Structure 1
Amino acid sequence: MSKLIDVDHLEGWQMAEINLVPRDRTTFEDFSRFARDRGWQLDQRSVRAARGEESPEFLWRTDNGSTVRLIQSAPLDLSYVVVAGDERDRLADEVRERFPAFSWPEIIERLSEARSDEERIAAFRLVAATESADYDPTVYGAVRTGLDDSDPLVLLAALGAAFYLRWRQFEPLVRRVSESPQVSENVRVTAGNLLGLTLWDRGHEGS
């Protein structure tokens, strides 16, 4: 597990957090050794809370109160790291030094070049884990196309991307899926649930 996707392109208030998404699943043991070498303190409450969880989340604190979280997401089938606090830029650099990272343009390229259903699903999951607040027309177009796909797995992955991104531009598209007679009941119910769970308060343009 040596490569991460660097999504520190986010601007403004969203820079309160930097998301880093590994290409391969990052184990708790690997990341814990890395964190221990830097003197980060593991929050034992997060360890207890992670027991038995489908998507465990582990939290470390630095001396100045910044936090680093490792999230092993079952829905996205990947692990990602979220860095927050006043020292987030320096901490993210330390993570990158140990785990080389993709840039945001490379994530966009993956979306653009994905052809098979498997490639599209993987790209949607990567985009979801970035939780980017800023609207991007290429991402929007790819997710919009995915929400029209006849394959339920592709459609569900696109719904997941819309849910994690929370862009207001996706709300009417997700609502359309929730009301569509052309999709399965499972997909309609999932879309309806996402509508109720999501604020749709992001998707900032021109930043």
Structure 2
Amino acid sequence: MAYYAVWMKPANQELAPVYLEAHIEYLSQLRLEGKVSGNGRLLNGPAGGGLVIYRGNSSDEVQALIEKDPFVVHGVRAYEFYHWDVRWAPHTGLGGIREITAAHLQERIENGEKLTIFDVREDHEVAEGTIPGAIHIRLGDLEHRHTEIQPAGELFFVCRGGRRSLKACEWLLSNDYTGLVNVAGGMTAWKELR
């Protein structure tokens, strides 16, 4: 799995407001599937462009995803994309949160690193399996159980697809926690490694 930095450039600015909602919905779905790690804030702003960070096994796979974006389909945005040779990608919507792929997390665990991992899914989801050693704190319980989280070093968060764990990271960041890492694609991506 590799990261690709995709720059969306203006093509038809007048149509941007019409297709913005569909574009955001598309990116949100890809984020749930673990294929997008974040999107820049300028997608419909004064600069008229923005950055989207995709994950995929090949440039062809990523280009196929880009070509399905409503912005691209309807000619609202042109794009350029580049292979980004990194193992980490920022969540560009909010500073202070990093993302890690399930494969890289597995590699670190197999290398003997003692990682602090929190699973924020519901009880019935965790009953179906979780990452060995993960601490279970449901997202809905985070506000009154966050004192159980020692704010030291890296803190990894996982859910089914990466959205709830990102919300957990965002809430903790707003409460002065640092070292927050979201597991991209969540347990869906983790199970694909098995």
TM-score category, normalised to shorter length: under 0.3
Flag the structure with more relative contact order, 1 or 2, with Cα contacts below 8 A and sequence separation at least 6. Answer: 2
User: Which structure is higher in strand share?
Assistant: 2
Higher helix share: 1
